[in-house]
A = this chain, B = another copy of it.
Amino acid sequence: MAHIVVLGGGLGGVIMAYEARAAARKEDKVTVISDKPTFDFTPSNPWVGVGWREPDQIKVELEKPLAKKNIDFIPVAAAKVRPEENAVELTDGRKVVYDYLVIATGPELAFDEIEGLGPHGGHTQSICTTPHSKLAHDAFEAFVKNPGPIVVGAVQGASCFGPAYEYAFILDRELRKRKIRDKVPMTFVTSEPYIGHLGLDGVGDTKTLLESQLREQHIKWITNAKIKKVDADKVFVEEVDESGAHKADHELAADYSMLLPAFRGIEAVRDVEGLVNPRGFIIVDKHQRNPTFKNIFSVGVCVAIPPIGPTAVPVGVPKTGFMIESMTAATAENIGKLLRGEEPASEATWNAMCLADFGDGGVAFVAMPQIPPRNVNWAADGKWVHLAKVAFERYFLGKVRSGNTEPYYEKAVLKLLGLEKLKA
């Protein structure tokens, strides 16, 4: 008998647990450790941020569905991962000993790297977690009573851009619905070298698509931007040129702002020699396995991957659902092999698939592999994207509730997009 512990109960962790269960032998034990009792469907956070969803609608209580699949659940945060003891130390002092550990904790949000950033003590909203999105919505409701300028974007070192565009477009849509868009100058501020870069050096012609969309919604933009600081009603931005040299300073009035922060590894793994890179992300080989501690695997946003190439302001590579799903599949197969005395052989295919919603239309893109140049490189827009996104949410929440391990992105979404046969 072996004990497989999955640390983290988010998109990566939950799929991981189901797939590990399916890949393991009957006698093995699978446990999920999470710092909260629920699974939150992160891709719907932008909708929570404008009130199109209540947090409850995108939450699943994990206890029951996990139990039904014979997976233990410990809703207590990890304090420290101790590889030399093969144990995870919890914040309540307990130690959970594992044979195999899969780390799927997602990111820690590095608000503290910029003065005035973030919803706790700072002046900007966040949609990175569902509770943050709830705060963002509350602040938005206060804002609409006395509307003024809005700033939305992603800071230097961010590795998640799609949701920033999405939130900007959704805010625009909601403000038009409320007939107060005319009182709200909007600016999109991003560390990307150009609009539509997305940390991926573009996907298809996302530059043209998103520039045009921003112009259509009359959202101004600043690229190659560094946020210097944020105060109660201003965002201080430095714009640099292609080479990274100073170009201009901007003081943007902002009565409401949402800026995606940079990510780093969580406290519980940071500084564990051999496990993480300097930024606290888990180092893995092509089998998702840590080279130092060979019984530790990792999936999702907490995995270390290099940036796509040099940019004037640092930007990271996003890790989206499609890619995460592929990481979990590979990891499950590899652990399955180890349990049976074989060597890991499966590798994740790093593909990106994104549905960015504009409220009534949207942009979809598929990048295979995620890092260019690519075998499949496709972007399109239309009203169907909004509908696809709603279907996506419904399907995914169903999957978590039922423990279905069918690879959703690969099967359902590609089929939806008619790209099935393009699979690279």
Contact = CB atoms under 8 A, between A and B. Distances in A.
Nearest to A369: B182
A129 interface: no
Interface in A346-377: 368-369, 371-377
Q: Tell which of A204, A208, A375 has the most Cβ of chain B within 10 Å.
A: A375
Interface residues of A, number: 33
A201 B220 CA distance: 10
Q: Tell which of A181, A215, A216, A368 has the most Cβ of chain B within 10 Å.
A: A215
B202 A208 contact: no
B216 A176 contact: no
- Per assembly, the copies of the chain total 3
A212 B205 contact: yes
A376 B173 CA distance: 10
Contacts of A376: 176
Contact of A181 (B180, B186, B204, B373): B373
A217 interface: yes
Given A184-B373, A205-B212, A212-B208, A179 B424 contact: yes
Contact of A215 (B176, B205, B369): B205
Given A181-B375, A371-B182, A375-B176, A204 B215 contact: yes
A207 interface: yes
Interface in A161-181: 175-176, 179-181
B424 A374 contact: no
A216 B377 contact: yes
Given A182-B368, A182-B373, 6 more contacts: A182-B424, A201-B218, A202-B218, A204-B215, A216-B379, A218-B373
